[in-house]
Chain A
Amino acid sequence: GQQLNQSPQSMFIQEGEDVSMNCTSSSIFNTWLWYKQDPGEGPVLLIALYKAGELTSNGRLTAQFGITRKDSFLNISASIPSDVGIYFCAGRRSGYALNFGKGTSLLVTP
């Protein structure tokens, strides 16, 4: 599958801070998705992006589909303790399976 590089690998922040993470690919994707996984659970879809340049928000979360179609970023504003978890980017080329980054582990202290 296509290689996805997700960074940072982990983040340790204080409540109220903003967070930014990104994903880059060696291939062009048609779709970028961002997921969050809590311990013992399956990943939950946060945001889906379908067009280059697209900027989409879901509450305090904002994600963008890079104009080169090889990257995407996710921002979380004013973090709260329940934002703790592992965030995954995922990209898909038409006709191929969804490939995942290795995740960004987010820890938020009150």
Chain B
Amino acid sequence: KAGVTQTPRYLIKTRGQQVTLSCSPISGHRSVSWYQQTPGQGLQFLFEYFSETQRNKGNFPGRFSGRQFSNSRSEMNVSTLELGDSALYLCASSDRRESGGLGTGELFFGEGSRLTVL
């Protein structure tokens, strides 16, 4: 079974630009979560999607957005990039079948997209 796939692995942007990151979950998983990882803050939760609906949202500004498609693939977008947005963006999928419901809820991570903002 293929794992979580994230693209691109690395990218460099300049302040003010926008970026879109993509995530393909493990086959059969319908829940996708996004995390931002920085050395100082650790893993910070961005949002979680299940069946194309956002189920949970972290404490990030509106510049950070996401969506999930009918095939469970997900994208996240960051607009008007700032230097502080430089981070490793991790996507994780799980077999949660509904919010707080069935499934183990264990998250399986991709290798991440390393974003550098200059």
Decide if B64 is an interface residue (CB 8 Å cutoff): no
Bits for B74-118, please: 1 = Cβ < 8 Å to A, else 0. 000000000000000010100000011000111111111000000
Say yes or no: B105 contacts A44, CB within 8 Å. Answer: no
Q: A103 vs B43: C-alpha distance in the bound complex, in angstroms? A: 9
Q: A99 vs B56: C-alpha distance in the bound complex, in angstroms? A: 12
Decide if B72 is an interface residue (CB 8 Å cutoff): no
Number of interface residues of B (CB under 8 A): 24
Say yes or no: B42 contacts A97, CB within 8 Å. Answer: no
Q: Which of A10-18, A55-63, A88-96 lies at the interface with chain B?
A: A88-96
- Return the contact of A48 from the options B42, B58, B104 (Cβ within 8 A): B104
Residue of A nearest to B3 (CB): A42
A1 to chain B: which residues have CB within 8 Å? 45, 58-59
Say yes or no: B43 contacts A100, CB within 8 Å. Answer: yes
Decide if B22 is an interface residue (CB 8 Å cutoff): no
Say yes or no: B107 contacts A33, CB within 8 Å. Answer: yes
Query: B residues within 8 Å of A by Cβ?
Result: 4, 33, 35, 41-43, 45, 48, 56, 58-59, 90, 92, 99-100, 104-112
